[in-house]
Structure 1
Amino acid sequence: VKAVDGISFNIEKGQTYGLVGESGSGKSTTGKSVVGLEKVTSGSILYNGVDITSEKNRKKLNYNRDVQMIFQDSLSSLNPRKRIEDIIAEPLRNFEHLSKNEEKMRVLRLLDIVGLSADALYQYPHQFSG
Structure 2
Amino acid sequence: MTIERQNPPGLHTPPGYHHVVSVTAGRTVYLAGQCPLKPDGTVAEGLLPQVDQVAANTAEALKFAGATPADVVRTVIYVATNDRSKLAEVWDRLTGSEIAEAFTSASTLLGVAQLGFEGQLVELDVTAALD
Measured against the shorter chain, the TM-score band is: under 0.3
- Relative to the length of structure 1, the TM-score reads 0.23
More helix by share: 1
Structure of greater relative contact order (alpha carbons < 8 Å, 6+ residues apart): 2
More strand by share: 2
- Relative to the length of structure 2, the TM-score reads 0.23
> Which entry has the higher C-alpha Rg, 1 or 2?
1
